[in-house]
Amino acid sequence: MRLLVIGGDGYLGWPQAMFLSRKGHHVGVVDNFLHRQLDQKGGTDSLIPICSLEERIAAWGEVSGERIEPFSGDINDYAFISDVIKRFKPEAIIHYGEQPSAPFSMIDRDHAVFTQVNNIVGTLNLLFAIKEHQPACHLVKLGTMGEYGTPNIDIEEGFIDISHNGRRDILPYPKQPGSFYHLSKVHDSHNIMFACKVWGLRSTDLNQGVVYGVETEETALDERLATRFDYDGIWGTVLNRFCVQAVIEHPLTVYGQGGQTRGFLDIRDTMRCVELAILNPPAPGEYRVFNQFTEQFTIRQLAELVKETARKKGLFLEIAQEDDPRVEAQAHYYNAKHTRLVDLGLKPHYLSDVLLESILDRLFRYRHRIRKETILPLVDWRKTRNPCGYGPSTGLQGLAIELWGNRLFSEGNGARSWSASAINAVPVSRWNMASDGAVKPR
């Protein structure tokens, strides 16, 4: 099959591209390298060193004999993504290409607006391009379990059977997202479902839990094929944070009471879930939802698992309770259904001491790269202005300056208008933000 991975330079997108290429598919990847730019400006970085996409693709060709076709550009530029889809003619598109961080979206107004414009408009552009050039193409969208929130009833897979005042219907499951990022994913889901209904498109929305792991069969073939590992307060996840804290013998920081419960899955299972969705496509006009996770844990349970695994390696850690920067329930009911992917053939890899030990062993190799000051959170959900970077050159708007540099603005009558067609026309370094928030060329 001809498969296009949007966000193919990212934590999941790059190993997904290799996974599918190894299975004999003709794979293309699209990326605008936004995460790499934001790392440079925000004082963050992948703990595991990663090669450029060009170097990765060359290494993959050497190791596997397979070819991955790259497309460098931004899906918010409709002319770009429309041309890619017209030329590549994908039979399925795997859409990882969004700003993926809840803390990033809560930094301030600019970051919230950027997140929603970037994610929602990018997905809309994909939908229009598919309709115009490849209407039979299957869109596999990476959603998030965070769309649902933590309701006091069972979470179904996308839809719920409701009886009300003597009438009955199957409706989209109610959403209670917990950040502006999660809200963008909800809007994506609504737009995709609508496009399937009115245009006859087909889509699978994979509401994914928190992914952990640093290695797949493909990344293990060569150091140059490694995927990124984020642990900081902007891009990192809770298990990554605990593992990094363990290797530097830092107390494991649990935010709030630690009763927050979430779904988790191994990165290898993400690869397989996407493949299963591709091999079992929905009918034209069908929008379906799979809850993509394999286990659920409280934050406290994860901390205890890491603490015990570290103890076996001679590391004796404490668990420290810190104030929760998020506004969320500290202890709650959580029972999310996740059977549809298992029914299609998923055989999960469960979190174990052996897997945690392998993660810790890998991280020990890069212990010297850990920046302790980036581990703890900068963003408080209760504030509308938060620090947005860990480097000495980043002030309150430091990261937003370069963030908005990826979009070109023109000023007229005191207003700012967004010009998607001008993406990449001016290098990021040539833009600055004035005290009034207006973006101006340097």
- Residue by residue, pLDDT tens for the chain (442 residues) are 999 999 999 999 999 999 999 999 999 999 999 999 999 989 999 999 999 999 999 999 999 999 999 999 999 999 999 999 999 999 999 999 999 999 999 999 999 999 999 999 999 999 999 999 999 999 999 999 999 999 999 999 999 999 999 999 999 999 999 999 999 999 999 999 999 999 999 999 999 999 999 999 999 999 999 999 999 999 999 999 999 999 999 999 999 999 999 999 999 999 999 999 999 999 999 999 999 999 999 999 999 999 999 999 999 999 999 999 999 999 999 999 999 999 999 999 999 999 999 999 999 999 999 999 999 899 999 999 999 889 754 433 444 444 444 443 333 333 232 333 333 332 333 223 333 333 333 3
**pLDDT at position 391, please?**
72
Structural domains for the chain: 2-229+264-294 (3.40.50.720), 405-441 (no CATH)
Tell me which residue has tokens 């990124």: 228
Residue among 115, 144, 294, 309 flagged as catalytic: 144
**pLDDT at position 425, please?**
30
CB distance 205 to 143 below 8 Å: yes
Residue type, 189: S
Residue among 11, 78, 173, 181 flagged as catalytic: 181
SS3 24: coil
DSSP secondary structure letter of residue 67: -
CB distance 144 to 126 below 8 Å: no
H-run or E-run covering 189? helix 180-199
Residue among 148, 185, 237, 294 flagged as catalytic: 185
- Of 32, 1, 24, nearest in space to 140 by CA: 1
Q: How far is CA 387 from CA 43, 372, 383, 395, in A?
A: 12, 17, 10, 6
CB distance 60 to 53 below 8 Å: no
Catalytic residue flag (residue 237): no
C-alpha 399/C-alpha 283 separation (Å) is 43
Catalytic residue flag (residue 144): yes
Residue type, 273: C
* DSSP, residue by residue, 285-332: T-EEEEEE-SEEEEHHHHHHHHHHHHHHTT----EEEE--SS---SB-
Tell me which residue has tokens 């053939």: 345
Residue 162, beta-bridge partner list: 169
Residue 10 makes CB contacts below 8 A (sequence gap 6+) with: 31, 35, 96, 97, 100, 228
Full-model pTM = 0.90
Residue spans of beta strands (DSSP E) within 127-247: 138-144, 159-164, 167-172, 202-208, 210-212
DSSP secondary structure letter of residue 119: I
- Of 199, 205, 204, nearest in space to 285 by CA: 199
C-alpha 193/C-alpha 141 separation (Å) is 11
CB distance 59 to 51 below 8 Å: yes
